Structure 1
Amino acid sequence: MRSYVKRVKQKAEKLSKEQVLSLLEDVVDENENLFSVLESLSTGLLIIDDDYRLLRYNTIAESWLPFSERLEDILGTENAIWEYVEDEDVSNFLRNCMEKNTTNCSEDFSTVTSGGSVRFLTVTISPLITEGELNGKVILVRDITEKKNQDILLHRMENLANLTNLAAGMAHEIKNPLGAISIHIQLIQKALAKARENDDKLPAPKFVEDHIDIVNEEIEHLNKLVMDFLLAVRPVKAQLQLKEPDKLVENLVSFFKPEFNREGIEVIFKSSESGKRILLDEKLFRDVIMNISQNSLAAIKSKYIGDRIGAKFCISNSVRENKFIITIADNGCGMSEETLAKIFEPYYTTKANGTGLGMTMVYKIIKEFSGEIIVDSKEGEGTAFTITFPIPQKDTKLLTSESR
């Protein structure tokens, strides 16, 4: 159709009025067809010029991205499209691409709908080519929420496989308090039976009470075990959103650093300064960092009794091969090979009052974030946790319009 219109354009002066009207009808029909195609796409589409001013759009783009004004009212304005995008992360992405004059770049974002649910979007900027020349840009908006939710569901199903080990550990743990309760109840029963044979003369007042106190203690212990077990087997209800781990870790370090400093421990934090974001739940992420840091604090205090000169706790962030890596290290007492091998097993603990579920939960949460965690430790030297998270969408190679 385009070549036909070009040919007619060259002979426009020779056309009759009827031929011109017929040509206009053909152009209108073609335009309507193109408009129908745009509206039928499952991908949001924003066509912009080199200054990011809106030229055309389809309805689905408006429903997926939050705008401060209707797109219909933005058409023809002198302002860049990013000025109307209400989501700060998306707006900054578009503005940076405009300022750097980049195309062929893509990034994932999470947005919260008016109903409170989280939607995951991929925003891609591609060049708009007309007759072999760059003539603006195309912003594509794809909804990847279903795919993300399927990935999350898969990880949760994998986590359910650990229930067998948890149940076995629970069964083992409840045997001891149940055995103690049984023994002390038997002793009370024997004492009462003896009293009946002795003219109902009860034993010394403290005798029965001592046994009952122990029974109550063991019942309380059992209750705690059951509550911890329920906590361990309950699915992690993560509200995953794209967040900058550098900022989150920096805030957490600022929170617990005074406690470490009061104990004479030097705290070192190194940001990746990458600006990368990963999928995580901010509250659960905080639980992971705080749990590991408190274990490090205990390990350092165990080694450095009294003088803590040289005691260090370090958190270092980095990005490598499209992975975000957090390394948490201390030069505390370290772990034995046995402890290192069982650190993530439920109910395994070296602490007198520990539940043995803290590191199990750390492991579960990291897996929920599609991450990995490994531990390196030497007894008497220290411990290092390395946590690796995938970066959801690696920026593709950036091309400037000048390089085309």
Structure 2
Amino acid sequence: MPLRAISRDAKVRVLFIEDSPEDAELIRFQLEDAHLNAEYLRVEDEEGLREALAGFKPDIVLSDLSMPGFSGHDALQIVREHSPQVPFIFVSGTIGEDVAVAALREGASDYILKHSSARLPAAVERALREARTEAERQRAERELMRTQRLESLSLLAAGLSHDLRNILQPLLIVPDLIAQRSDDPRLKQLAAVVAECGRRGHEMAESMLSFVRGSRRASERFRIADLFRAVELLLKGSLPRTVEFEQKLEDPDVELHGNYTELQQCLLNLCLNSVQAMPSGGRLELTAGVRGERVVLVVADTGVGMDEHTLAQLFTPFFTTKSDGTGLGLVSCRRIIEGMGGQISVASRPGEGTRFEMLLPLPSEPVDEEPGMAPVVPGQGERILIVFRDGTRLSLLGNALASQGYAPELASDGAAALRVFAESGEPDVVVVDNSIALFPAAALLSTMYESGYRGPAILVGDGGKAFDRSVLPDGVVLEMLPQPLDMHRLFAAVAEVLSRRSAR
């Protein structure tokens, strides 16, 4: 029976370990008659075998058992050490049953007698098929492990993001209170710096989730010059004296529209990789220019460079060349660039350095600046029912509204809010966290309105949760505020809904 040509679409490499050229040629003719699409190489000693494994990279090895100065058993051991998955078949003039059994135990795929080699093509076909099946199984197993690790990362990111947002919330609330209670311009400037750090930290916590779920984060318009300046400041502590850093910016006024924090994270990651690729020093360049309708950002170094094998896997999750690396940095960079509608490419050669190029679209039109908010109107003792699941944020919000002249009443979940409502009567405004778990926001507000409450409500939204307005009666005054919660927005929203209630 002729060999089914399992390799007609892809040529296989067959390595002979054989001291007799004539015997190797006969085996080759037999395989060619069976229509095996193959490339052949013959070696007869250990040195030739090791060179063939490194350079020829065989898909299957056919070996004699006894050769002058070299044993087939030694050859099998060398092949197994170098390429454990490559099929190895003994093709020998004489082989005893005990020797054949020992060979199979050592890892040989099969054994064939030269004077009875009719089943050689079938044995080669089976060995190649099994090797291919095993390779597919291992590939599927690796992909499954990667998927499981990504799922674990998603759960970790979700929990960590939630905790970080809670920790950062005071940085978003307290600076507004400080700025409103002081006329000192220096104190107001410091408060603004703290608030900006809180907003940036909140964005970074959110971006952990976007790595897995792929959602787009808030965008803003910013100058590339400001972005480069921030990257340089963050890079200073990690820049050795042996590395020369230079920025080149064709036009300082060029702008981008996207997530500033994520792009800063991307450029910093690429720059730190470049620094690590220059252990003996070198040159790091961060440049920006305009090419047609696109902005070109480049991070280039004169480091050790990368070979083709590394380049091919560079954006594969969990692939890393660092002993302490996670293999997620460059994957995150590509996600950030593609999320902004751009492209990222890399060129590198061993010993010559690496160049990352990012193409990002120019903003098509100016983004309108947010209109200035009206001055905050102080309260007159109105009762504000605040429902937040996090105790720290609940306390801060209560103190903030009390400082504005309101009378806050605090509840950590929907059930507690209903008890306050039943005991204290109807509040003037309800402020509800949309992410409360026990008796969620929709159920709480629906129950309150069914029980006679007719006042306004302010829902502090969580980007991952939608709110069904159909559960509320027609005509209800409902305002929605995004996360992170800005205190000036909250004060303005409370004053607005109270004025609308008075006008009814």
Highest CA radius of gyration, 1 or 2? 2
What's the TM-score once normalised by structure 1's chain length? Answer: 0.40
Higher RCO (CA 8 Å, separation ≥ 6 residues): 1
What's the TM-score once normalised by structure 2's chain length? Answer: 0.32
